[in-house]
Structure 1
Amino acid sequence: MKERYNAVHFIQYQLGDGNNTSLWLDPWHPSGILHDQFPIPLLYDSTCFRDAKVASIIQSGKWQIPEHLAMHLQPIMHNLAQVPIGECQDEPVWTISLKGEYRLKDT
């Protein structure tokens, strides 16, 4: 498990539709893993619960933060414009490889 904890620092999710990427637990945002940056009660909100996918804050191909959470999520909202939304599936990218693919040689 220690290896997984260390490996997550070398993965960045390239978003497609947001359906396969965890809002709180996956490294998709420029600020890093959001779970570590917000109060625990926020992770259990009925709209963006702990297991929510990034797709839960995307509507019609645009970022849409629920109004009641916008005040709490200001730090991530500022950088959302840097994160493009695609139409395909989300894809993990191994950041220490030039091609973005995991290879044992690169580890």
Structure 2
Amino acid sequence: MKWSCALQALAGFLALLAASLQGCGCDATKATECISTWEQFVLDNRNDILDGAVTRPCAALKDMVNCIMDLQCCEDYEISQSMNNGINAIASNGGCTGDNALPNCNF
């Protein structure tokens, strides 16, 4: 149940993030590909995620966050805030903490 709430929060923040990528200094097309890769992972593994298989979703989320950070999209304040809000929502729902913690998107 916690993962279901976390995934809903993540979906909302990804929609805001995708919209905010337009016009920023990062490569919006490549950043959208980072997000699309995560979304496909969720679609392909939704049952495992909802059953509490925390390690795999956290690794895929780390890949997405690192991909966006590598594109220097975190230098934009709004993107940084959107990313960190999503990361914090996931952490507060009991996912991706400790060894599975997600990096912060700092600008």
Normalising by structure 1, what TM-score?
0.31
Decide which structure has greater helix share. 2
Decide which structure has greater strand share. 1
**Structure index of larger Rg:** 1
